[in-house]
Amino acid sequence: MNKVENNRAWFLVLPVLLLVAFSAVIPLMTVVNYSIQDILDPHTRFFVGDEWFREMLRDSQLQSALGRQLIFSFSVLAIQIPLGIAIALCMPTRGIWVAISLVLVALPLLVPWNVVGTIWQLFARGDIGLLGVTLNSIGIEYNYTRGSTAAWFTVLAMDVWHWTSLVVLLCYSGLRAIPDAYYQAARIDGASRIAVFRYIQLPRLAGVLTIAVLLRFMDSFMIYAEPFVLTGGGPGSSTTFLSQHLATMAIAQFDVSRAAAFSLIYFLIILAISWVFYTIITRATKD
């Protein structure tokens, strides 16, 4: 067959290219632009190369915020993924309770971030909040505005309350997609409940779990509004996560160049860790 070389079809990609340019590339390039210059006022700027990046990577505040962030995100995953699977397994599969339990489970997802923060701020208060008063009355000293451990666990509990539902819903849909024949075959084969979970349910949840892990990791790594409202990053800097650190730098201190370099680093960290997760999970399910 005679093939005519003709690459004009590439022009068809142009609209998408323009769209992506305006929505992603140009804003991102602005950030890159800030990150490699020192801007003193609108007319005075110096090219500084990678200086801001070096400085940011050496910044001890950033390093400790990153450490807190990693511990937080991995705690979130370690709690929410198993808890989400467990709840999804317990949910009813037929009858009127399906709709009721789905709505109940989905409710926390409908509450806006800052409202969640406010709810928990009141809920956890030692003088009037249900959680705070209860904990104090059974003899556990609890004050999330003073104790950094208490603050950290409150933020974690709040995130679990807010987002486990997402994992539950994803797992529930994954479980519903398993044909009945698998369960029937397992019963014929005399498989135990654990074997059914290990060999039928878990392998078939791999797809939705990949999505759940990635979404939960990315979201928790970028958490901002809830701890900002609940603790304001305190006490001290015990619940100051990366995004809040960044916001303080960019908005409160108006240090846009440092903030730009930092946000690029932040972006690359998320990208890298997500890629690692994705690769590990898809590898594990492949063979």
The residues of the shown chain that bind other proteins, judged by CB under 8 A, are 179, 181-182, 184-185, 187-192, 195, 199-200, 203, 286-287
Paired tokens of 185:
């075959």
Question: Which residue lies nearer to other proteins by CB, 106 or 284?
Answer: 284
Q: Is 254 left (phi over 0), alpha (psi -120 to 50) or beta?
A: left
Question: Which residue lies nearer to other proteins by CB, 115 or 284?
Answer: 284
Rg (CA), the chain: 24
Shortest separation between residue 15's beta carbon and other proteins, angstroms: 39
Question: Which residue lies nearer to other proteins by CB, 199 or 278?
Answer: 199
Shortest separation between residue 179's beta carbon and other proteins, angstroms: 8
Question: Which residue lies nearer to other proteins by CB, 146 or 176?
Answer: 176
The sign of the torsion formed by the CA atoms of 151, 152, 156, 159 equals positive
Shortest separation between residue 190's beta carbon and other proteins, angstroms: 4
Shortest separation between residue 95's beta carbon and other proteins, angstroms: 11
Question: Which residue lies nearer to other proteins by CB, 82 or 203?
Answer: 203
Q: Helix 26-35 crosses helix 256-286 at what angle (to 10 degrees)?
A: 120
Closest listed residue to residue 182, CA positions, set 166, 197, 168? 197
Give the torsion through C-alpha atoms of 62, 63, 65, 70, to 10 deg: 140
Question: Which residue lies nearer to other proteins by CB, 113 or 182?
Answer: 182
Question: Which residue lies nearer to other proteins by CB, 23 or 184?
Answer: 184
What backbone torsions phi and psi does residue 55 show, to the nearest 5 degrees?
Answer: -60, -45
Shortest separation between residue 94's beta carbon and other proteins, angstroms: 12
Question: Which residue lies nearer to other proteins by CB, 58 or 286?
Answer: 286
* Residues contacting 142, CB < 8 A, separation 6+: 124, 126, 132, 135, 136, 150
Provide the b/e sequence for 154-163 (b: ≥16 CB within 10 Å). bbbbbbbebb
- CA atoms of 34 and 259, how far apart (whole Å): 9
Shortest separation between residue 103's beta carbon and other proteins, angstroms: 25
Pairing of β 37-41 and β 44-47: antiparallel
Shortest separation between residue 102's beta carbon and other proteins, angstroms: 23
Shortest separation between residue 209's beta carbon and other proteins, angstroms: 14
What backbone torsions phi and psi does residue 254 show, to the nearest 5 degrees?
Answer: 50, 40
- CA atoms of 220 and 223, how far apart (whole Å): 5
- CA atoms of 149 and 141, how far apart (whole Å): 11
